[in-house]
A and B are shown apart, each in its own frame.
Chain A
Amino acid sequence: SQQGEEDPQALSIQEGENATMNCSYKTSINNLQWYRQNSGRGLVHLILIRSNEREKHSGRLRVTLDTSKKSSSLLITASRAADTASYFCATQRGGGGKLIFGQGTELSVKP
């Protein structure tokens, strides 16, 4: 399968709590990206972490990458109801732009 694994598949939390999503992949990569998708809509790019980076921050987002374990995590701090969406990791191997997506985590943040 070209797909990586993400867990959990679904996550339900209260507003203000932190949400952590994990992603594992199978091959060597150039970079790993996280995307958000609201129901029935296109994808929005959240953050990119390169293979030589271990951690990256953007606002309330924190991404880690462990290339030895072929895994990444996305942490959303102080979650809001508006963060409710599906989150996908995607890996990129070469420079051509082709992305291989993980299975996704469906996040529900309850007000």
Chain B
Amino acid sequence: GAVVSQHPSWVICKSGTSVKIECRSLDFQATTMFWYRQFPKQSLMLMATSNEGSKATYEQGVEKDKFLINHASLTLSTLTVTSAHPEDSSFYICSARDPQGRAGVGSNTEAFFGQGTRLTVV
């Protein structure tokens, strides 16, 4: 089946520093990836849609200069949390869709999720 790998799985950083999170599709090419944020005991909130070779599309209320997204290749999207503050502490999850539906699961509408990154800003 399709695999999406997210790295790191957890990170602790100091307030004011930047943190980069990677999301890779391992056995398929993903022209589109999605970044979600999840607070404890809450649901996933879509932050942005990452498009290969073009600018990301951000959801309302998400600061694009705060959360920089780069989708430089068909298998890698990165989310950089710039000048992180404690309120940015959260669980960040990426997902990708296999548009060709060739990843062994028979569907091109299923989203494959990374294992998530727990960010703690101190």
Name A residues whose Cβ lies closer than 8 Å to a Cβ of B: 2-3, 30-31, 33, 35, 40-45, 48, 88, 90, 92, 95-104, 106
Chain B: number of interface residues, binned into ranges: 20 to 34
Inter-subunit contact B6/A42 (CB<8 Å): yes
The A-B contact count (CB < 8 A) is 67
Q: Which 6 A-B pairs have the closest CB atoms?
A: A97-B97, A42-B115, A43-B113, A42-B113, A101-B44, A101-B43
Inter-subunit contact A97/B46 (CB<8 Å): no
Query: Which chain B residue shows the least CB distance to A31?
Result: B109
Across the interface, which residues of B come within 8 angstroms of A35, CB to CB?
113
Inter-subunit contact B115/A48 (CB<8 Å): no
Query: Which chain A residue shows the least CB distance to B118?
Result: A40
Q: How far is the CB of A2 from chain B (nearest CB, A)?
A: 7
CA distance A92 to B110 in the complex (A): 10
Across the interface, which residues of B come within 8 angstroms of A40, CB to CB?
91, 116, 118
Across the interface, which residues of A come within 8 angstroms of B95, CB to CB?
43, 97, 99
Inter-subunit contact B115/A97 (CB<8 Å): no
Across the interface, which residues of A come within 8 angstroms of B93, CB to CB?
42-43
Across the interface, which residues of A come within 8 angstroms of B45, CB to CB?
2-3, 101
Query: Which chain A residue shows the least CB distance to B44?
Result: A101
Name B residues whose Cβ lies closer than 8 Å to a Cβ of A: 6, 32, 34, 36, 41-46, 49, 59, 91, 93, 95-97, 99, 107, 109-116, 118
| Dominant SS among interface residues on chain A | strand
Query: Which chain A residue shows the least CB distance to B41?
Result: A106
Query: Contacts A41-B115, A42-B93, A42-B116 given: A100-B46 contact, CB under 8 Å?
Result: yes
Q: How far is the CB of B74 from chain A (nearest CB, A)?
A: 14
CA distance A44 to B114 in the complex (A): 9
Across the interface, which residues of B come within 8 angstroms of A99, CB to CB?
34, 46, 95, 111
Query: Contacts A96-B49, A98-B46, A101-B44 given: A42-B107 contact, CB under 8 Å?
Result: no
CA distance A30 to B44 in the complex (A): 20
Can you list 12 A-B contacts with CB-CB less than 8 angstroms, sorted by A residue number?
A: A42-B6, A43-B44, A44-B113, A45-B112, A48-B107, A48-B109, A88-B43, A97-B95, A97-B96, A97-B99, A98-B49, A99-B34
